[in-house]
Structure 1
Amino acid sequence: MRTITVQELADQFSLEVLAGFHHMQRKIGKSRAYRPGLEFVGYFDFFPQEHVQVLGKKEITYLHKLDLDERKQRIGNIVKYHPPCFIVTANQEGLKYLTKYCEQEEIPLLRTGATTTEFLGRLDAYLTKTLAPQIAIHGVCLNVSGIGILLRGKSGVGKSETAHTLIRRGHRLVADDIVVLKKLSPQTLLGTHDEKTKELLALRSIGLINVSRLYGRKAFQEETRIVLDIELTKWQENALNNELELEPSFTEYMDVKIPHIEIQLQPGRDVAGLIEAAANSWYLRQQGYSAAEEFMKRLKMD
């Protein structure tokens, strides 16, 4: 299971540390934050104690209104579960009592100026991506007309050269050689780079090029949702399918199914153009359109 430290979270969101300075290396392994509510009145049957705890104005206002003894009991009931950290939103003040209990239990207490709704949205998005299960595979990742494509094939088949042609046509590189795949949900696969190869494309006989420097910032993007898995293979006579509509094929990555297409290579074949066609065809299918169905309707009308 992937984890990050409270210190990494604090650095990412520029959080102010109010307590627990010496315990910032505590681990966070859950991808969603939690706002304790029922727990303050003693109901803990479903308390996600391993999650980051966010305290907004409702929670802090409630605590402020309690008398000293009751406040001690309510806070004590939660801190004894030792969640990774507490984060107070909207720069709320009057937190000496909360600071005291967090120090006693060695739990970091952090604060942000952002509103609760804004901060929770950003925090959950960050944790989901950062803590998502991931694998690294050999290939090229591109965004073609807004469609995330994973381009695979044996070494030397021409993946990077094809990617270069697509970039020159206005599409975007995400990763070359090493593609990091992150599983955000049972249906969502995110493709990104491994930082070391960011913006770099390796071309045989040329070497490394920086696509952002060569073709401008629009030639690169950090990540994309993968919706097509395209494999480049060597040409085989009589192996191409000419059916009106091929049976769907899929590749699985971490149990996420991605539509798979094989494109055979031959001198003079516009592989980049075929990839553009595949991306646009996929988009039209999502809108409910099928060229094969339209053709069959036309035949029936004759």
Structure 2
Amino acid sequence: MVKVTAENLIEEFNLELINSEEEIAYRPITTSDISRPGMEMAGYFTYYPAKRIQLLGKTELSFFSKLTNEEKKDRMVRLCTYDTPSVILSRGLDAPEELIDAANEVGVPVLRSDMTTTRLSSQVTNYLETQLAPMTAMHGVLIDIYGVGVLITGSSGVGKSETALDLVRRGHRLVADDSVEIKQEHDGVLVGQAPDLIKHLLEIRGLGIINVMTLFGAGSVRNFKRIGLSIHLELWDQKKQYDRLGLEEDMLKIFDTEIPKMTVPVRPGRNLAVIIEVAAMNFRLKRMGINAAEEFTEKLANVIEEGDRDEY
């Protein structure tokens, strides 16, 4: 998991640090949930989520201004804890002195934005969900084929990178080669990208490392892509029965998300790039409700049924 602090939020959203930088500590943000402490302003701290970012808008600060001086100090001291990663004020609102004093006492960064409270909450939540999403790395290649993110896996030397090069030459876009970093940003959503060190690079045995963007242009690469289909390449096994109709559908599970998985046998004479390209197009058709294998099976069943009736 990537470490995110209030310092990252300052850079990402151009936030202003209000209190003294010498007094604060950039604590890790561990959850994408954001708290608007309305109940806390009223004095109810029984279930106070201290580890969340605390977002103060016009409503919270308007209520706060009606409190007595003793209540104001008490609320802010209890709001700012050693677990609190940050307090953010929206709409360019002024920070109460009680907040600055309490925040400096325990080292909580107090930030300010000119955005509206709802918009700021939405953008910060989306950013944190992306950054804090669980991540894993898989050996393989990720290609954007007709808008479908295709994850190509297989043992070393089976031809993944060579197939990826052929697909790029056919107009498709490379996302990652050799190592694919995969994040589950939401339930059912897997997004893959390349590690920074090997971004836009492709390794071809006997040729070496090539820069795809330099050779084929900026339109030949993507920085990230949602994964929709997995294709596993394996050497042809004469003893193994491969699916010839396409009715069987295996699934690849990554985190809590399952994606369709196809196994394609590799042997001389098979054009893997074309096969994978067609697999991506067929996957799009299935999502649109068109399944050639099921239509063929239904027609075959009708022919058999009519043949049985003719016998009688």
TM-score (normalised: structure 1): 0.90
Larger radius of gyration: 2
Mapped contact 2:76–2:98 kept (Cα < 8 A) = no
For the pair 1:16 / 2:6, whether they are aligned, the reply is no
Report 1:1-302 matches (<5 A).
2-22=2-22, 23-80=24-81, 82-237=83-238, 239=240, 241-299=242-300, 300=302
Q: Decide which moves more: 291-300 or 172-181.
A: 291-300
User: 1:124 is paired with a residue of what secondary structure?
Assistant: helix
CA distance in structure 2 between the aligned counterparts of 1:72 and 1:40, rounded to whole angstroms: 11
User: 1:143 is paired with a residue of what secondary structure?
Assistant: strand
CA distance in structure 2 between the aligned counterparts of 1:208 and 1:236, rounded to whole angstroms: 31
CA distance in structure 1 between the aligned counterparts of 2:30 and 2:7, rounded to whole angstroms: 13
- Residue type at the aligned position of 2:7: Q
Question: Displacement of 1:162 after TM fit?
Answer: 0.9
User: 2:88 is paired with a residue of what secondary structure?
Assistant: strand
Residues 132 and 242 from structure 1, CA distance in 2 versus in 1: closer, same or farther, beyond 3 angstroms? closer
**1:93-119: CA deviation from partner (whole Å, max 9, x where unpaired):** 254332222112321101122222322
Q: What 5-or-longer segments of structure 2 have no aligned partner?
A: 307-312
TM-score (normalised: structure 2): 0.87
Residues 87 and 157 from structure 1, CA distance in 2 versus in 1: closer, same or farther, beyond 3 angstroms? same
Mapped contact 1:7–1:24 kept (Cα < 8 A) = no
CA distance in structure 2 between the aligned counterparts of 1:79 and 1:245, rounded to whole angstroms: 59
**Number of residues paired by the alignment?**
302
Q: What 5-or-longer segments of structure 1 have no aligned partner?
A: none
Match of 2:310 in 1: none
CA distance in structure 2 between the aligned counterparts of 1:101 and 1:194, rounded to whole angstroms: 41
Identity %: 37
